[in-house]
Amino acid sequence: MTTRQSTAGWQILAGRDKCAPECRLLADLMAFGGMAAGTIVASELRECCRIGPPDDDAFPAAFRRLSTPVPSLIYSHIQLYRSAMNVLYFGGYRRRFDNVIALLGAHETSVCDLCFGDTIIADWCAANRTMWTGVDLNPSFCARARKRGHHVIEGDLLSVALPSADVYVMAGSLYHFHDRLPAVFDRVWQRTGRWILSEPVRNLSSDDGVLGRLAKRSANPGDGHAAFRYTERTLLDALREQQQRYDLTCRVVSIDRDMLVVMERGGAARGVR
């Protein structure tokens, strides 16, 4: 990514009068993620800014080229991904993983990390002599994890052979499977008795403007763009539906940008609490 491309990206963000309010907001937010994140957003908005204000007729033309199941640009390199995530989390991206790590018990010697993306949890496990297995369909993320010495299963979690583990974790990816939750839960509970879930429930993609549409359209790890996002209510409803199928204890640990939930199979307590 050249300096000329980055400069052009910022010019696109700030230089179109018809999109000026949205572009100024994006430029401010991109400051959290650095120039790389600004260039990503600029490239995705190039057509939008050219055609004028976002509306139902104009926006599809700007995003048609993003509709094929090819990973979004942010999924092509870990630094781009981290920059974009820091934008969405206003600089608090790593805290999502730290919160999950804090819930890993000392007695748990094996972790399966679904749709892992980053290796923050993997690196912690390696430093603490905990066996980690990551599952992801993104070749770039899988290759990087392997280079760091981690055990990776590359592919769709609904089709690969999942390992048995003391605990499963998933951070920020359940929404990709919102229409296939029974299949996901079936596979997970065949391999573990404990699942730590961190899922966004307050996010920029809930916005109806340019920024919200961009956040939705940039979330493609390689299986298509995911416009759906959970809210606090819809995630709790989804978990309750799954409790009707399993004897689960579900404990809501915290709710911020993400809802942090610990699920255990075979507990005496019932209901999301």
pLDDT tens-place string over residues 43-54? 444 444 443 444
Give pLDDT, residue 241.
Answer: 95
- Per-residue tokens: 264: 């255990």
Give pLDDT, residue 31.
Answer: 45
Give pLDDT, residue 85.
Answer: 81
Question: Beta partners for 195?
Answer: 168, 263
> Could you give the residue range(s) of every CATH 3.40.50.150 domain in the chain?
93-265
Give pLDDT, residue 71.
Answer: 56
Give pLDDT, residue 25.
Answer: 43
| Cβ atoms 94, 84 nearer than 8 A | no
Question: What CATH number should be reported for the domain whose range is 93-265?
Answer: 3.40.50.150
Q: 131-136 and 167-171: which strand pairing?
A: unpaired
Q: What tens digit of pLDDT does each residue of 199-232 get? A: 999 866 555 555 555 555 555 555 544 678 999 9
Residue segments in the chain with a per-residue pLDDT below the cut of 50: 1-37, 39-69, 224-225, 268-270
The structure's pTM equals 0.70
Give pLDDT, residue 82.
Answer: 84
Give pLDDT, residue 68.
Answer: 40
